[in-house]
Chains A and B, each alone.
Chain A
Amino acid sequence: MASASAFEYAPAPESRSVVDIAPSYGLFIDGEFTEAADGKVFKTVSPSTEEVLSEVAQAGAEDVDRAVKAARRAFEKWSALPGSERAKYLFRIARIIQERSRELAVLETLDNGKPIKETRDADLPLVAAHFFYYAGWADKLDHAGFGANPRPLGVAGQVIPWNFPLLMLAWKIAPALATGNTVVLKPAETTPLSALFFADICRQAGLPKGVVNILPGYGDAGAALVEHPDVNKVAFTGSTAVGKAIARQVAGTDKKVTLELGGKGANIVFDDAPIDQAVEGVVTGIFFNQGQVCCAGSRLLVQESIHDELLDSLKRRLSTLRLGDPLDKNTDIGAINSAEQLSRITSLVEQGEAEGAERWSPACELPSSGYWFAPTLFTNVTQAHTIARDEIFGPVLSVLTFRTPDEAVAKANNSQYGLSAGIWTEKGSRILAVASKLRAGVIWSNTFNKFDPTSPFGGYKESGFGREGGRHGLEAYLDV
């Protein structure tokens, strides 16, 4: 039997020297780095050590206005370029990201806290692939199914979260530029650095100034961007609460909106599922990126007859997960992104215990500095429990049981959210029958957390609306 202590791993840290972080960064407006109008700055820290990485200009309403004006000025020429020329800019960006992927992976791991294994093998390859994919659409919009010569919307205001900083940037910027829009993007306040490095990639690619503007800042800057009268399109990824606020803000305007919000994904394991594979899928489903994933499989629905067997396997597997230095190539679980997020997770977990669910974690030593939370699972969870209803956005799995497929579907759908779900069974017809009943935008069968630029992603119900990725992802940025 494998246990963490049976195998001592030597440290295998990725070198920090591949990335050169400047002591300070400005806002990126109209092709230039500039200070905030009110001179405000904020610090960004490495969540695994609390070390200050850099000091970043903090955008305010005046800066938003400047950036939107720059994007508006750039729009006329950019949208008039032949699609084949826009395509070549995006292909350049994709290639430069590939070239600089090691540097960007280390940067992302430092600023976000997620394991280098993930930034290196998931985030960065997906970022490059996303630009590559949408580059190819820029001159093929006539074939995308939206009629001949579909037109861009104008200036897109985009607000992205901290869980996949560069990937979310790619999901927003690539389709926007391919379709001929210009962009003002606000990265999250805890993870501004990769977006600022992206500004440098735009420079290397020779992208015309003003086409991409990056405004690090807080929620107030995001709100100002959404509110700005000269923004034609709002794209937001983040919490459902903010998503609803945005939906209210844009009411009565012509702004087109896409929202990619929270989730409480059900991972349904039937009694005929290959247990080892299912355990792996459940583990990646909830512990990938410390569970800070909107489509995480945060509810495990296991058929009653295999509950004990599956839980034994799952606990055994969790005991082998390695938590620690995100830059170590062996690390499975990195740091929680911020103190604020850590306290949210902690309080929800405490609530879970208080409401009577049974908490379990493997023996797991947490580093003394930084923001950490041990992989956690709850058994004896009912549908009424807060931890079965609310999005925790952390490495916390709630285990529920079911007896019949009907019951599994009913429980899976018993959520305000509808972003993702997983189905584990050897029976193809059951996969398809269950999938057709689930009210969720992405269904993974016998796998979980798979992403591809060609595949549309997005939610039902309060997980938001609109799709990102694939041919469908173009619609959000076209006047159709």
Chain B
Amino acid sequence: MSEKTDKTEQQRLSVFKTYKLYVGGKFPRSESGRVYEVTDSKGKWLANAPLSSRKDARDAVVAARKAFGGWSGATAYNRGQILYRVAEMLEGRRDQFVREVADAEGLSKSKAAAVVDAAIDRWVWYAGWTDKIAQVVGGGNPVAGPFFNLSTPEPTGVVTVLAPQESSFLGLVSVIAPVIATGNTVVVIASEKSPLPALSLGEVLATSDLPGGVVNVLSGKTAEIAAPLAAHQDVNAIDLAGADDVLAKELEIAAADNLKRVVRPQAVDYSRTPGIERLTAFLETKTVWHPTGALGASGSSY
């Protein structure tokens, strides 16, 4: 590159991105029309993120519920391919996420790159789980009678996730991928302080063959958005990863109203390969009985 070109590049004014929510496969602004200022770790302005309202939260639940039938009804193989596609798309936008994660979490470029790489690999990890979890946690049961008896896991339904506050991207991916891998749909509240990687992830999901509404991303005040979601009668489960102890207790009480499945906040090292806890947390077990009968009148066996 010549000096002249460098100069021209320096002088060019960059185009800012308007960060928007990702709901029902579309990119709306908050219906409230409100935004809040997002800064990097040194306090420098990065963007104005949508400040989601209760109405945004309810809209997101409607979108997630609408998507549930199709997504949970898709074959596990199909879901696996789509999750893998997310990894492919993310790999192509790696530089963007490295920049956003570095800004959001105050990391060096190389540390941010390691975080983004781990997040991409995490999608691959969960892509492989879609058609295996049933083989690990399901199976035939040898009941003491002439019955076929089979237990299979099924997705719980619409899951609200409070994304981790500190790990704005790897943490986020680590909590939403297991939820959707098994066929649930999700409403996720991005890290309050660092919502930008989550909002950008919406753009990746939108181009990964993931049906609209399977993942819905909200940004804003975690406590403000989480309250109506924890109390929402059409939400089946809630992951409190991004709540502090006080908020977590409050939300768990609200969640009890329709007996949501609750995952309490816990210390997680998101850089480590996860187990299957976050997969099984949002699964129901369905057991089917059927008589095996006997052969003819004699009932003789071989």
Listed in ascending order, the chain A residues whose CB lies under 8 Å from chain B are 84, 87-88, 91, 129, 132-133, 135-140, 143-145, 404-406, 409-410, 413, 427-430, 432-434, 436-437, 453-454, 470-471
Contact = CB atoms under 8 A, between A and B. Distances in A.
A426 to B, nearest CB: 13
Nearest to B295: A405
B293 A429 contact: yes
B295 A454 contact: no
21 contacts: A84-B124, A91-B127, A132-B84, A135-B128, A136-B80, A136-B130, A137-B132, A138-B128, A139-B125, A140-B125, A143-B132, A143-B276, A404-B295, A410-B302, A427-B293, A429-B293, A432-B292, A434-B295, A436-B292, A454-B135, A471-B135
Contacts of B292: 429, 432-433, 436
B298 interface: yes
A432 B131 CA distance: 25
A421 to B, nearest CB: 13
Interface in B273-291: 273, 276, 290-291
A137 B80 CA distance: 12
Nearest to B291: A429
A132 B148 CA distance: 30
Contact of B129 (A136, A145, A410): A136
A430 B273 contact: no
Contacts of B84: 91, 132
A351 B295 CA distance: 35
B296 A406 contact: yes
Closest 4 A/B residue pairs (Cβ): A136-B128, A429-B293, A432-B292, A433-B293
A180 B254 CA distance: 48
Nearest to A408: B295
Contacts, number: 87
A106 to B, nearest CB: 23
B121 interface: yes
Given A87-B125, A429-B292, A471-B136, 6 more contacts: A84-B121, A88-B124, A137-B128, A406-B295, A406-B298, A432-B292
A26 to B, nearest CB: 33
A84 B295 CA distance: 49
B301 interface: yes
B267 interface: no
Contacts of A144: 136
Contact of B291 (A88, A140, A432, A437): A432
B290 A84 contact: no
Contacts of A410: 302
B138 to A, nearest CB: 11
A84 B126 CA distance: 11
A432 B124 contact: no
A434 B84 CA distance: 40
Contact of A140 (B121, B128, B295, B301): B128
Contacts of B128: 87, 135-140
A133 B131 contact: yes
B300 interface: yes
B276 A432 contact: no
B132 A406 contact: no
A453 B80 CA distance: 13
Contact of B80 (A132, A413, A434, A437): A132
Which of B84, B130, B136, B295 counts the most A-chain CB atoms under 10 A from its CB?
Answer: B295
